[in-house]
A and B are shown apart, each in its own frame.
Chain A
Amino acid sequence: EDKVVQSPLSLVVHEGDTVTLNCSYEVTNFRSLLWYKQEKKAPTFLFMLTSSGIEKKSGRLSSILDKKELSSILNITATQTGDSAIYLCAVGGGSNYKLTFGKGTLLTVNP
């Protein structure tokens, strides 16, 4: 059974802090790892990491895939209150490419 574990489950920081969110996985026939940000509604796509693209960066957010350790981190620097959200890690694998999600990390950024 595919498994995705995120840590921590919740995190409270102050504006300006840097945070690191963790994701580890056990997936048959790994194809990609994705990070999503979820505020009030549906998850919105942040990054996709694959064997051919193990690092991604967009503004203050960056992510790295460690295929040897079967894990990924999502870094957010100079956090803002607008970064407050649930961050979901999902891993795609298998012939039908089902995404298996972790439970998410609830990030709260206080002013």
Chain B
Amino acid sequence: NAGVTQTPKFRVLKTGQSMTLLCAQDMNHEYMYWYRQDPGMGLRLIHYSVGEGTTAKGEVPDGYNVSRLKKQNFLLGLESAAPSQTSVYFCASRDTGDLHGYTFGSGTRLTVV
């Protein structure tokens, strides 16, 4: 099993450009999450999904949009990138009955110049 796969792993954007980060999981998990991690800030929740076709805002949703058209994929979009969105982005998933925490992807390092 691949687990949770994030693409791309690295990306440099210019201010104002748009991009989509893809998260794919092959564990048939219902719940998926997007976090960002900045130095000294821990992980902060951007958006999450409790099932196919559903999304909800997390702690820091501004400037991001998400979609969950298929159960296995959770997309994170930046419509107009800003330097403040320079960060490491982690996707995670979990099953409905699993209280052992999340399965994380390996992260996407995004730099906005």
Contacts and interface: CB of A to CB of B under 8 A. Distances in A.
Q: Secondary structure of the B side of the interface?
A: loop
A88 B50 contact: no
Interface stretch (A11-19, A63-71, A73-81, A96-104): A96-104
A41 B45 CA distance: 17
Contacts, number: 57
B58 A42 contact: no
Interface string B19-47: 00000000000010101000011111100
A107 interface: no
A102 B33 contact: no
Contacts of B42: 4, 6, 88, 101-104
Interface of B: 31, 33, 35, 40-45, 48, 50, 56, 58-59, 90, 94, 99-102, 104-107
Interface of A: 4, 6, 9, 31-32, 34, 36, 41-43, 45, 48, 50, 88, 90, 92, 96-104
